[in-house]
Structures are given as structure tokens and as C-alpha cells.
């Protein structure tokens, strides 16, 4: 009877240890009670801000200076990967690392368009063009996509890229629309359209979410045994 009880206790202890190990691996080994220390929250906040600035900043620098290698999004994806690798190095929970990597990737994909918008908003010039053709694009799922307008300037020279901002279902050849272009030619022209949050509207929610997840990941990566004693697991 005693041996049976010992086996049951051993099994229960093993199951509890396994559950704790899985929890620590997935969500992080945080063990402190109550609110986390301010310095730890500040560390996570700083990491998130640095990550956002690196991901968006490299695209903005590339768009502003005309460096396709930086403005195309590849360099931003490298910054996103570096952020995820850092969190893995500090033993953050794998689930939180995955969420961070996903948000950082989405931000990196959207950063080039936002960076181009900043460049056009800062030094772009508005010009009236004439619509020469209207085409309805196809969405990825086969549904209806954006309307694309082929346009030409006042001299009859067609623009190299079709315009979708400001191109409506009611647009017809011969209509006049406004486009904004970069005098230095580092970014493609686009149609003029009022946006409530400006060029940052598409990336601001993703950037805020990324910073928030970084704070949680860093806080949960820390094991604290006392009010002033903190350590990260090394194994």
C-alpha cells in the first residue's frame, strides 16, 4: 500500500513538474507576486520602442534616400527577426516570442508604404493628371480588388505606375485627378486622398501592439525570488 502511494505521489509530482516546465517554456518563468517592478516594465517598453523604430526607421531612411535595399522591406524583416531572437535569448515564453515575431513581421511588411507616404507628405508636389484607362484589379481570394487608373500628365506622358488612391468605380477615361509625386523620384507617385491618421495610420496599431507584447514578454521572462532579487533562467 505504501509503495502504491509513493508511486502516485511520484506520478503527481512528475506531472506537476512537467506542467510547470511547459508553462515556463510557453509563457515565461515569471514567479513574482503582484505588480512587476518598474525597471522591468521599462526594459520591455524600451525594447518595444527600439524594435518599432528600427523596423520603421530603416524603411523610412531607405525611402528618403532612395536606397531600394532598405526601403523594400527586407531590412525591416531582418530587424523583426533580430527582435524575436533577442527575446529567445532572454528566455521569453515561446508563445510570446511567436506573437512578437508575427506582429513585427506585419509591421515590417506595412512599413515601406508608410515610409513612402511620409516622404510624399514631407516633400511631395501635387499635379493634375488625366485618366487614360480604368481597370479593376483582382484580390488574392479571387474577389473584387482595387480599381487601378492609368494616368498621363499634362504633356501626355503616362506615369509608369497605375494609381489606386483616388481611383473610384465611377472613374472614366478623360477624368482629371490629382496625384502627389516625389521631385527626387525616390518613391512612386500616388493619388491624393485624405487620411485621418496620415501615413502612420496603417502602422500605428501594429506598432502599439508590438510594444505591448514586448513588455509582457520581457516581464514574464524574469524569475524573482524576492523584492530585489531577479534572475532569468539559464537553461
DSSP state string for 17-83:
HHHHHHHHHHH------SSPPHHHHHHHHHHHHHHHHHHHHHHHHHHHHT-HHHHTSHHHHHHHHHH
pLDDT value, residue 230 = 53
Q: Which residue has the higher pLDDT, 29 or 105?
A: 105
Residues in contact with 47: Cβ distance below 8 Å, sequence separation at least 6, in sequence order = 83, 86, 214, 218
65: containing domain = 37-121+199-226
Residue 50 belongs to some domain of the structure? yes
At residue 140 the predicted structure's pLDDT band, cuts being 50, 70 and 90, is very low
Q: Which residue has the higher pLDDT, 4 or 60?
A: 60
pLDDT value, residue 58 = 96
pTM of the model: 0.79
Q: Which residue has the higher pLDDT, 197 or 126?
A: 126
**How much of the chain, in percent, has pLDDT values that exceed 70?**
78
Q: Give the count of domains, the chain.
A: 2
Query: Based on the domain organization, do 104 and 157 belong to the same domain?
Result: no
84-101 pLDDT, tens digit each: 999 999 888 899 999 999
- CA dihedral (28, 32, 35, 41) positive or negative: negative
The grid cell for 201 is 495610420
Strands 223-224 and 125-138: unpaired
Residue 18 belongs to some domain of the structure? no
Query: Based on the domain organization, do 142 and 111 belong to the same domain?
Result: no
Query: Based on the domain organization, do 139 and 117 belong to the same domain?
Result: no
Query: Based on the domain organization, do 152 and 101 belong to the same domain?
Result: no
Query: Based on the domain organization, do 41 and 117 belong to the same domain?
Result: yes
Query: Among 11-15, 77-81, 187-191, 230-234, where is mean pLDDT lowest?
Result: 11-15
Query: Based on the domain organization, do 112 and 205 belong to the same domain?
Result: yes
Q: Name the average pLDDT for the chain.
A: 83
Q: Which residue has the higher pLDDT, 111 or 4?
A: 111
Amino acid at each position: 500500500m505504501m509503495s502504491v502511494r509513493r508511486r502516485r505521489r511520484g506520478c503527481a509530482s512528475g506531472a506537476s513538474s512537467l506542467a510547470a516546465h511547459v508553462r515556463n517554456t510557453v509563457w515565461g518563468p515569471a514567479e513574482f507576486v503582484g505588480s512587476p517592478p518598474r525597471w522591468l516594465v521599462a526594459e520591455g517598453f524600451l525594447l518595444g520602442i527600439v524594435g518599432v523604430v528600427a523596423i520603421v526607421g530603416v524603411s523610412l531612411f531607405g525611402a528618403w534616400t532612395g536606397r531600394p535595399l532598405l526601403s523594400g522591406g527586407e531590412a525591416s524583416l531582418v530587424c523583426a527577426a533580430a527582435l524575436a531572437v533577442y527575446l529567445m535569448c532572454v528566455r521569453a515564453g515561446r508563445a510570446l516570442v511567436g506573437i512578437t515575431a508575427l506582429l513585427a513581421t506585419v509591421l515590417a511588411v506595412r512599413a515601406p508604404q508608410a515610409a513612402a507616404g511620409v516622404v510624399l507628405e514631407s516633400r511631395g508636389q501635387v499635379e493634375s493628371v488625366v485618366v487614360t484607362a480604368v481597370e479593376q484589379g483582382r484580390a488574392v481570394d479571387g474577389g473584387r480588388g482595387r480599381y487601378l487608373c492609368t494616368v498621363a500628365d499634362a504633356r501626355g506622358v503616362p506615369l509608369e505606375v497605375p494609381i489606386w488612391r483616388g481611383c473610384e468605380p465611377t472613374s472614366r477615361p478623360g477624368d482629371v485627378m490629382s496625384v502627389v509625386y516625389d521631385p527626387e523620384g525616390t518613391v512612386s507617385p500616388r493619388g491624393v486622398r485624405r487620411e485621418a491618421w496620415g501615413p502612420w495610420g496603417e502602422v500605428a496599431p501594429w506598432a502599439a501592439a508590438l510594444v505591448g507584447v514586448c513588455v509582457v514578454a520581457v516581464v514574464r521572462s524574469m524569475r524573482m525570488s524576492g523584492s530585489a532579487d531577479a534572475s532569468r533562467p539559464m537553461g
